[in-house]
Structure 1
């Protein structure tokens, strides 16, 4: 058959704000690398992971990781081992091993570049899409002529009338190699990324901003936003201790090289929650730049969180250009298995580079 790319998904980027991936993340949780799902820095190896997930689906006829909620899918990307393709369809072990390496959880254990991946594909035997000699796995038996068709053929021959040979067109041998598939998929990803960049670049800033007014003091450093019902986040160059009540130790302006600590206060105890239901989002200049899922679940009586922001978001801070940047921190709780999320706390600071 022929492989045709019908949709790059660019049209869905406008709905990304409803997803756990957020507006600044291209793609969906089903194809998201572990480092992307947990808000860490990504590079070409993340694309290789996504391409490996796509290859798995093309061969197995199903996605490797599926669940009711997107949070659960992202957690599976991080923790659950890749299923063996042979569990679903017959597959040459040499092809399966390439896909498994592409989908390694740790970036250091994947192919480190597309050139390295292409070299592995070229090393396959020619029947498998590579450039080396050798044989592929044994093929299936040829299709046999059904008895009814055989009787009809004998009847026509015995009638003495000229017999026409009816045959199906010969199956076209696909000239599309693994390399072509990989190159096509990589090109599709580049087009998606380019479309997403152009879309995001044209968006007005300010999305995800923390309100400046409407905060009601609740004792100590804790405040509650009257319009949203969520709590506040405060920041300092040293750890903000539980029960701290000295506002002079806080800061709203930092250098990108400063240690940045935060404490986020919820409006009340978080209550029963499951792993992955609570998450932190980092917004820079109105665009979401990182996300961290809290694993394990928080204690039901917990009403605040301590965050070491400069450590967990070091890569994002290093990427900042010269000048001042507005940085917003949001804590969300996922509402059930749906896409809706409820804010628990938020805070804003300025980071200079």
Structure 2
């Protein structure tokens, strides 16, 4: 079944297994019905049938068919001739590539409806989905919800799931067996390695790296019997923020409610249960600061509250118990 904005509805039935050969198109109008029957000698008919109401009961008044004379010719020859005429005169053909695309869109919608229990499918949504699929890569085994946001150039690999409402920026990489929740937010250039679940209220800013099997949480006192959505008076989910450029090592656990600072580095297996400052290196259970790291990933060594990265052109100051990015060394700018 197809519904059109004008209110017109259509039903298409096609089967190679049907016991009777039929090639028939019926168009029902307000006053008459038009029937195109490929298997009859006269191809086109008009039926001026009417409905009359007698004592509040509809009674069909059928009339004889009116034959509409049409010139008989070979369809394929006419198509080829029309195509040549359009080339010669510079006209747009009646059935061009765009018409073919529209036909394929309808067939795709029909197949999608059939695959999903004959539920209603909106053609505009299919066009939007097609455009989105052209701008991203999603492996055939990935489950990408209809109403999530995924930026151009992002890739979603094997067996990953993106829920409705999730926000993923441009040029992100979602490794295999990952999950992104409905209220999760990923900035541009984020990379999730395999087996990472980003739950609701977790925000990863631009260029955050998350290693394999790292764990995020959003519930400080979870109970299977008392889920927060059903019993909000018992508590609520708690947000977690990972700031731009931070890296989280494999198998690290991030307890909900913390903020991991800009360009911070969390070592593999670390349990983070409190905020991590910008540029800090945190390792252990629970996590402790053991040093500081440049945005390029090189460890910083401070002397007299100053540090310059030995691998790039960045320099830093130690001010008010925190690392502050100062700029780039002027003498090395030409190397960057």
**Greater strand fraction, Structure 1 or Structure 2:** 2
Q: Which structure has the larger Rg over C-alpha atoms?
A: 2
User: TM-score scaled to structure 2, two decimals?
Assistant: 0.18
Q: Relative contact order (C-alpha < 8 Å, sep 6+): which is higher?
A: 1
